[in-house]
Amino acid sequence: MSAFDPISALIGGGLIGLASALLMLFNGRIAGISGILGGALMMSAGDKLWRLSFIVGLIAAPIIAGLLGHPLPEPQMSTNWLLIAVAGLLVGLGARHGGGCTSGHGVCGIARLSARSIVATAIFMVTAIAVVAITRHGFGG
Amino acid sequence: MQPLASFLCGLIFGAGLIISGMTQPAKVLGFLDIFGRWDPTLAFVMAGALVLSSVGYWLARHQRRPVIAAQHLWPNKTDIDRPLVVGSVLFGLGWGLAGLCPGPALVNLASLLPRVFVFVAAMMAGMSVLDLWKRRVSSAIAIENAALANSDG
Q: Kindly report, residue by residue over A54-113, the tens digit of the pLDDT.
A: 999 999 999 999 999 999 999 999 999 999 999 999 999 999 999 999 999 999 999 999
Say whether B130 and A133 touch across the interface (CB within 8 A).
no
Q: Give A70→chain B minimum CA distance, Å.
A: 10
Q: How many CB pairs under 8 A join A and B?
A: 491
Say whether A97 and B130 touch across the interface (CB within 8 A).
yes
Residue B153 lies in a domain: no
A14 to chain B, any CB pair closer than 8 A? The answer is yes
Kindly list the residues from chain B whose CB atom is less than 8 angstroms away from the CB atom of residue A5.
Answer: 21, 41
Which of A67, A82, A89, A139 best probes binding to B when mutated, by most B CB atoms within 10 angstroms?
Answer: A89
Give the residue extent of every domain in chain A. 78-141
Sorted by sequence, the CB contacts under 8 Å of residue B65 that are 6+ apart come out as A28, B71, B72
| Helix then strand then coil, % of chain A, to nearest 5 | 70, 0, 30
A132 to chain B, any CB pair closer than 8 A? The answer is yes
Q: For residue A107, which amino acid is it?
A: V
Report the pLDDT averaged over residues B106-124. 97
Which of A5-9, A45-49, B20-24 has the weakest average pLDDT?
A45-49
Confidence check: pLDDT of B150 > 80: no
Distances (CA, A) of B21 to A25, A106, A108, A110, B39: 26, 17, 20, 21, 11
Say whether B10 and A61 touch across the interface (CB within 8 A).
yes
Say whether A77 and B113 touch across the interface (CB within 8 A).
yes
Is residue A109 a contact partner of residue A121, using CB atoms and an 8 Å limit? yes
Say whether B10 and A57 touch across the interface (CB within 8 A).
yes
Say whether B108 and A62 touch across the interface (CB within 8 A).
yes
Nearest to A27 by CA among B8, B15, B125: B8
Confidence check: pLDDT of A139 > 90: no
Is residue A31 a contact partner of residue A103, using CB atoms and an 8 Å limit? yes
What span, in angstroms and rounded, lies between the C-alpha atoms of B57 and B49?
Answer: 12
- Three-class secondary structure of residue B70 per DSSP: coil
> Pseudo-torsion of CA A17, A23, A28, A30, nearest 10°?
-50
B6 → closest Cβ in A2, A54, A75: A54
Q: How confident is the model at residue B142 (pLDDT cuts 50, 70, 90)?
A: confident
| pLDDT tens, position by position, A120-136 | 999 999 999 999 999 99
What span, in angstroms and rounded, lies between the C-alpha atoms of B59 and B107?
Answer: 28
A139 to chain B, any CB pair closer than 8 A? The answer is yes
Residue B141 lies in a domain: no
B-proximal residues of A, 15-74, CB under 8 Å: 15-31, 33-34, 37-38, 41-42, 49-66, 70, 72-74
φ, ψ at B14 (rounded to 5°)? -65, -40
Sorted by sequence, the CB contacts under 8 Å of residue A6 that are 6+ apart come out as B40, B41, B44
Distances (CA, A) of B57 to A2, A77, B52, B87: 32, 35, 9, 26
Q: The dihedral of CA B100, B101, B104, B105: what is its sign?
A: positive
State residue A119's pLDDT score.
Answer: 98
> Pseudo-torsion of CA A61, A62, A64, A66, nearest 10°?
160
State residue A8's pLDDT score.
Answer: 97
Confidence check: pLDDT of A141 > 60: no
In chain A, the residue whose alpha carbon lies closest to the alpha carbon of B34 is A129
Structural domain span for residue B14? 2-111
> For all residues of chain A together, what is the average pLDDT?
94
Residue B145 lies in a domain: no
Nearest to B92 by CA among A105, A109, A43: A105
Kindly list the residues from chain A whose CB atom is less than 8 angstroms away from the CB atom of residue B11.
Answer: 57-58, 60-61, 64
ipTM for the whole predicted complex goes beyond 0.85: yes
What span, in angstroms and rounded, lies between the C-alpha atoms of A28 and B72?
Answer: 4
Residue B50 lies in a domain: yes
DSSP letter assigned to residue A70? -
Say whether A53 and B4 touch across the interface (CB within 8 A).
yes
- Three-class secondary structure of residue B92 per DSSP: helix
Q: For residue A17, which amino acid is it?
A: G
Within a 10 A sphere around the Cβ of B85, how many other Cβ atoms? Answer: 15
User: What is the number of domains present in chain B?
Assistant: 1
